[in-house]
């Protein structure tokens, strides 16, 4: 049996209708593997239909452009060149003519290329969308393999192309972000009172993580810091944001716009929870007049848990030093839980002496270093330590176990999975912009904004990706 696939193009402009042969498929005895189309056949059909369709569409467009829209006179031909256009179904070489402008009215240039003007990007929006969406979720190399396997996009697509196009999408998104400001608090208290009653508080978790740098000059320069965060409304709707700390020029604006997109008003309570690092602490200032800044209880307990583990290594259960340290750490935790940073610092500062009473081993010294670090940490962040117990009783947020998982979800899963993955600050920052859009389910919105009739039928990706 022979199955001929053809395209029939019915013209509406008076040109003759045309029929084009796409492929001819042959089938012998029926087997499970030859029932219907194979992927390779489907790809060649798609590529064939695409080529024939695009050629006719562009021909028709150029036929229209051949005449001056004002006086109807035929425009003179100056020559033509080939325009390469990457579509979802193949790389196309289109004939692009250059025409003289009509002299019935003044023009800034003498000639123009209608097709080059119509298609400045040389890449189909839907292909750009798919490339950046997959590159946000998996490596550039894997994205290429996936797209090449299922679409007839040709062998020339490579990881560098996808990276460049994804970065261009990110730059376009970033270019739409407003200017950086030191203060984002808008209006005054009188205005805020007139605002409608806001929703329940927004909770924002902020955290930092590290990405391996490709520009390693020394051990110290081997990594750079990425800040990631998640803003959660009272009904659980969440959005993520992320940026490379020393690269981004608009970190405050970035966070502000995410909060605003979640409906933040100036009379709304916003709770920032962080682990208290300087960079993160400065970032959250002046974004909202009703903001409160709290050291994330999760980060405190994490640190105490680590010290408890070390204390358990000091001796067998019941041994005096081990039990003393464990008991004191429990008191430190209790003081902090009740917002008493002063007593917590007192207790922690006394412990190293206790430990050094004996002949100190490496284990003792390590724990002492951890205790000293912890003391500094609490001292530096004392102003951010509330009475957690009381907040907890009133149902207010005290912890974002989610902040830690945000870093993992936004940054680590894509960027630090393998030690050998190295990043430039720019490359990491731009990828994070696309990745957060994808995780927030917002990438399609961006494309619809740029291409109003953009109509991609795919699923928005699950947030857990």
Exactly one of 71, 150, 383, 389 binds Zn ion (CB under 5 A); that residue is 71
Our CB check for Zn ion shows the closer of 71 and 237 to be: 71
Asked if 42 touches Zn ion (CB under 5 A), the answer is no
Q: Nearest approach, Cβ of 66 to Zn ion (angstroms)?
A: 12
In this chain, which stretch among 65-73, 231-239, 349-357, 376-384 interacts with Zn ion, using CB under 5 A? 65-73
Decide: is 102 part of the binding site for Zn ion (CB under 5 A).
yes
The piece of 95-103, 165-173, 351-359, 404-412 that touches Zn ion (CB under 5 A) is: 95-103
Closest to Zn ion by CB, 67 vs 192, is 67
Q: Which residues of 258-297 are buried (b: 16+ CB within 10 A; e: fewer)?
A: bbeebebbbbbbbbbbbbbbeebbebbeebbbbbbbbbbb
Structure tokens at 19: 């029929």
| Residues 439-458 as x/- pattern, contact with Zn ion by CB under 5 A | --------------------
Q: Which of 35, 70, 357, 464 touches Zn ion (CB under 5 A)?
A: 70
CB of 104 to Zn ion, least distance (A): 3
In whole angstroms, the minimum distance from the beta carbon of 171 to Zn ion comes to 38
Which of 100-108, 274-282, 390-398, 406-414 is the region at the interface with Zn ion (rule: CB under 5 A)?
A: 100-108
Residue 68 interacts with Zn ion (CB under 5 A)? Answer: yes
Stretch in the footprint of Zn ion (CB under 5 A) among 24-32, 97-105, 189-197, 322-330: 97-105
Which residue lies nearer to Zn ion by CB, 76 or 383?
Answer: 76
Nearer to Zn ion, 72 or 395 (CB): 72
Scanning residues 199 to 258, which ones bind Zn ion (CB under 5 A)?
none
The structure tokens listed for 73 are 């006179």
Give 71 or 200: the residue with its C-beta nearer to Zn ion.
Answer: 71
Using the rule CB under 5 A, which residue among 24, 76, 104, 237 binds Zn ion? 104
Contacts of 11 (CB under 8 A, 6+ apart): 17, 18, 60
Nearer to Zn ion, 70 or 464 (CB): 70
CA distances to 240, 290, 384, 393, 396 from 338, in Å: 31, 23, 13, 12, 14
Candidate segments 56-64, 70-78, 193-201, 353-361, binder of Zn ion by CB under 5 A: 70-78
Q: What are phi and psi of 239, to 5 degrees?
A: -135, 145
In the bound state with Zn ion, the residue whose beta carbon lies nearer, of 105 and 197, is 105
How big is the CA angle at 455 (ends 452 and 457), to the nearest 5 degrees? 155
Contact segment (CB under 5 A) with Zn ion among 10-18, 61-69, 311-319, 387-395 equals 61-69
For residues 39 and 71, which CB has a smaller minimum distance to Zn ion in the complex? 71
Stretch that binds Zn ion, among 8-16, 40-48, 101-109, 324-332 (CB under 5 A): 101-109
Total number of residues that touch Zn ion (CB under 5 A): 6
Q: 102 or 326, CB closer to Zn ion?
A: 102
Question: Between residues 65 and 296, which has the closer beta carbon with respect to Zn ion?
Answer: 65
The residue ranges that bind Zn ion (CB under 5 A) are 68, 70-71, 73, 102, 104
């Amino acid at each position: 049996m022979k199955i001929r696939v053809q395209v029939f193009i019915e013209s509406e402009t008076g040109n003759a209708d045309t029929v084009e042969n796409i492929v001819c498929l042959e089938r012998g005895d029926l087997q499970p593997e030859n029932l219907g189309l194979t992927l390779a056949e489907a790809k060649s059909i798609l590529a064939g239909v695409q080529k024939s369709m695009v050629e006719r569409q562009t021909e028709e467009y150029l036929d229209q452009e051949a005449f001056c829209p004002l006086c109807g006179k035929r425009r003179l031909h100056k020559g033509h060149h080939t325009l390469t256009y990457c579509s979802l179904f193949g790389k196309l070489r289109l004939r692009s003519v250059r025409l003289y402008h009509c002299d019935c009215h003044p023009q800034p240039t003498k000639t123009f290329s209608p097709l080059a003007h119509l298609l400045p990007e040389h890449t189909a929006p839907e292909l750009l969308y798919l490339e950046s969406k997959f590159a946000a979720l998996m490596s550039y190399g894997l994205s290429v393999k996936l797209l090449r396997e299922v679409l007839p996009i040709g062998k020339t697509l490579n990881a560098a192309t996808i990276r460049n196009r994804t970065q261009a999408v990110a730059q376009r998104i970033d270019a739409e972000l407003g200017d950086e400001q030191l203060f984002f608090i808008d209006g005054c208290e009188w205005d805020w009172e007139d605002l409608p009653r806001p929703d329940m508080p927004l909770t924002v978790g902020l955290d930092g993580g590290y990405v391996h740098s490709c520009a390693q000059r020394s051990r110290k320069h081997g990594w750079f810091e990425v800040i990631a965060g998640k803003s959660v409304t009272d009904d659980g709707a969440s959005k993520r944001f992320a940026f490379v700390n020393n690269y981004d020029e608009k970190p405050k604006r970035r966070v502000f716009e995410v909060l605003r997109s979640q409906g933040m008003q100036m009379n709304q309570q916003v709770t920032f929870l962080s682990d208290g690092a300087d960079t993160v602490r400065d970032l959250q200032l002046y974004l909202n007049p009703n903001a409160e800044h709290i050291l994330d209880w999760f980060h405190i307990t994490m640190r105490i848990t680590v010290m408890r583990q070390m204390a358990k290594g000091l001796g067998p259960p019941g041994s005096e030093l081990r039990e003393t340290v464990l008991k004191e750490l429990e008191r430190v935790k209790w003081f902090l839980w009740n917002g008493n940073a002063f007593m917590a610092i007192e207790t922690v500062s006394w412990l190293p002496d206790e430990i050094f009473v004996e002949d100190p081993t490496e284990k003792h010294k390590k724990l002492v270093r951890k205790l000293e670090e912890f003391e500094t940490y609490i001292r530096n962040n004392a102003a951010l330590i509330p009475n957690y117990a009381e907040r907890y009783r009133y149902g207010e947020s005290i912890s974002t176990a989610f902040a830690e998982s945000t870093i993992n979800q936004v940054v680590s899963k894509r960027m630090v999975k393998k030690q050998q993955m190295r990043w430039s600050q720019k490359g990491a920052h731009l990828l994070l912009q696309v990745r957060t859009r994808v995780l927030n389910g917002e990438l399609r919105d961006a494309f619809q904004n740029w291409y109003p009739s953009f109509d991609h039928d795919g699923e928005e990706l699950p947030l857990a990706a």
